Structure 1
Amino acid sequence: MLVNELNTKESSGLLSAVDRMREILHNEKITLPEIIVVGDQSVGKSSVLEAISGIQLPRAQNICTRCPLELRMKSTANIEYAIIRNSKRSEDAAETLNDMNEISNAVTRLTKEIAGEGTNVSSTPIYLTVYKRHMPYDLTLIDLPGITRNPLPGQPKDIHAQILNLINKYIEPVTAVR
């Protein structure tokens, strides 16, 4: 059964190497499989990821996902925890979260660090790796900013085009499941 094969020590090591490759090759022409959530703003994209992952992501009235969130789900037999970092920083600057309830706050904090306090959108991703017990398989999910048709106060007039360009960058590879 595929689930048993993916949960071996050897497979886990290989999948970790794939995640490191994904970061290294982020702007290159080599792509790796990933599931990408795309749609209009405030239609429930993050809620779908919450249902799949079992972790709570930030919620807001207007635009909430303002930069790509690369969510990597990993199975563990031990303690559950998460590692999160701003992709502008080295892996040494990653933050370990032992309380899964802190993930939402950490994502919000890094989003503000990357995209600012307002409603701007950035193409710089946040990397979040969550280690949970009873995960049937390791999985990479990508949450992207929702499509905004009319700029909010403080957003550039071309926000719609900026978001579409960001989405197209992620969904262009044939390995992207969307």
Structure 2
Amino acid sequence: MYHQAQILENCSSSDSSSNSSEDEATHLINVLPEILQHHQKNENYAEVIVPSYTDDEFRLHFKVPRIVCNNLAAEFSESDYFPKKNTGFQKISAEKSILIICWYATHEAAGFRDVADRFDIAMQAICDSKKRLRDVFIGYPGSVHDARVFRNSPLSNSLAAKCGDRFILADSAYPCRRHVLTPYRDNGNLTEKRK
């Protein structure tokens, strides 16, 4: 770290007498490989550092409780999507894969929007009045409308069994059903029943 700071300090002071931005750019390009070569990396972050996090620290870094990550990793390792054959690349554990996804989703949220060549995946989550997750469906890479994600989720076909006499409050992107209540658009002509 000290070495990087020293290089950067030299970059900013060595050309102070020259007003040419071209000279500064050339100098930065010349020292860039040295800066990158000395970049500190934590080789065993997932294996050593992450397990030492308190539950609060874990949630701060990954935005989900540790138990959720562990459950997702267990399900992922048993799924058809987890590579079981040797692909020629170093195998990444299910736990590490889920940590990578959670970290990326937390820190690179803008990249999940459907912009050219950006990673995009739809997730539908249902929580109760105490903000506890009750159902999560992850799927459909790319830009997919919320109504389609819901229609194709396992929850859509089991609403009556899961909800009983209760209902889910959803936004206007979802279809209004017996167990899914969505707001009506008020253009000034709502009936009394809909109000």
Confirm or deny a common fold (TM above 0.5). no
TM value normalised by structure 2? 0.22
Q: Which has the higher contact order (CA 8 A, sep 6+)?
A: 1
TM-score if structure 1 supplies the norm length?
A: 0.24
Which one has the bigger strand percentage? 1
